[in-house]
Chain A
Amino acid sequence: MKNKVIYTLFILIAIAALCNSFVIENPYFKITKKDVKLKIPKGFPKPNYTFKKNKLTPDVFVLGRKLFYDNLLSKDNTVSCGTCHQRIAAFAHIDHKLSHGIYAKIGTRNVPALQNLIWKDAYMWDGGVTSLELQPINPITSPIEMDESLENVILKLRANKEYVKLFNKAYKDTLINSERLLKALAQFTGLMITANSKYDKYMHKKDTFSIAEKNGLQLFRTKCAGCHKEPLFTDNSYRNNGIKMDTSLKDFGRGRLTEIEKDYRTFKVPGLRNVEITYPYMHDGRFKKLKDVIDHYSNSANHDDRADTLINKIGVLSAQQKKEILSFLLTLTDKEFLYDRRFADPAMLQ
């Protein structure tokens, strides 16, 4: 009798174990401790956001990844962060001038790449958001982006069995609140670090530049690096780079925020890494090609009268110089980042 009980128990356990092994995780999407270790690339400064009060763990990162790609964050469950921020475009929106949000509404600004965010001191084209953790409240609650309230997102998450499990796994208890939601998203976006381009390999003497690329770097250092400072290719300042205001959008940039005269029509200097694939360019996506951007900088006659003094110093670039700058910009593409499996959406490929 006793034997029978033990025997039945044994069978049951074996079945349970078998069942479990059928849902093996695809190793491509598995996140390990090593995957979430923060590595500061050689030559990079100290980051502004350090994860100090948001300890990086595989389970929180996985939760952040699921949230980033989940339409549940929008009111009618049609838009996720990943809708606008596409992995193949360094998390910019490829070939979209202005962002497209919920109910097919069109935003007023171009979707920026999400990369090296922890070195920024402020986010958005005008720097209005000063915390990586608090940034997602903007898209979630914007009536033309996701049009949802933070409160309601929390309610939806609490009612969702899978999220209850994931939050529990990540935080060791069942509490679901905005702090945890936002911190999980910050782990996912904060680890989007790009530092393995040809330029980086050249700088660390692991690759070589062609003559054109070398000349391009030289030109870039004299004409562009005053704002696009290496190695992040931004000095985090706000400038007017000579583009005239689109009178239909009337975007005053930083000025709208600070109402300080000198800030009007200035925008945060974007880091140029992966710029080859983050087209179109500028806060309103007005330039389709890198060639158009370089032509703009060279064409001083057509610069806005509020252009920064460094812009006027660039001067006319010869056809040769333009080509060299372009070939240098192309060395900033980081394939390892663009194909980093940690940032892929597990739901897309299963």
Chain B
Amino acid sequence: MLTTLSKGSTIPILTITAAIIVFWYACVVWLNAPFERDQAERANAEITFSQILSKTMEQKRPVLPAPHQVIVEIWNTTVMKNVTSKRSLVYHAWITLSSTLLGFAFGTLLGIALAVGIVHSQTLDKSLMPWIITSQTIPILAIAPMIIVVLNAVGIQGLLPKAFISMYLSFFPVAVGMVKGLRSPDIMQLDLMHTYNASKAQLFWKLRWPSSIPFLFTSLKVAIAASLVGAIVGELPTGAISGLGARLLAGSYYGQTIQIWSALFMAAFLAATLVWLVGVIDRRVLKQMGMAQ
């Protein structure tokens, strides 16, 4: 990010950001004004446009909160709160993050295991692949409650059911990417190993696995974002009291739009950070392996 900024794209980025903010404020006025006009009408009071303008920016439960309201809310619920407090957004983000990471780890392992099976066995290739693809055509919102209820019934609660949903979403890109990666060595490279009379295990560890690493990291960037979505979705049907999903749900119950938007921003920030982190590790590993020039 720093490098893109320093490469002379600062001005375009700032211009777009400014345009979005202006557009946002315009929408704030437009969406929140009817409420103010209503209020004025009920009180039989005259209201000027400039009054409407200022009032739309400080409603308690606006249809659309103004950017500064969201920023103040985020400030108040992060920096100004103890992180162990139930009112701290950092606390809720941490809850969601922990099931995201757990689900991501499960999903990565499952995805790799499936890919290894598929690459080594034609039977698995034929029998598993259709199921893997089908699994992703079912909307996660439809399965999430089922998973939670079933796991609850067998006594699994808390972090695990949510991580399970993250896994459900994140194993797919890893499996697909790794099948492609493990199959990426060309015929010449396979023939070369054949002339050495290499065993299947040697072929895997010395050729297939290292060849697949760039594919793995590309998939991991998709998978980590999917894991976060899974964790948030997993918090919705449980009636969870903590986590970003719970904040979203509670916010919508009580019409706390500012809370919803700050949870949204926190989720977006978390997603961006996680994807960025995977990217950093990606570059590190490839450099370590000698593949980045």
Q: Do A and B come from one complex?
A: no
Binding site for A on B (CB under 8 A): none
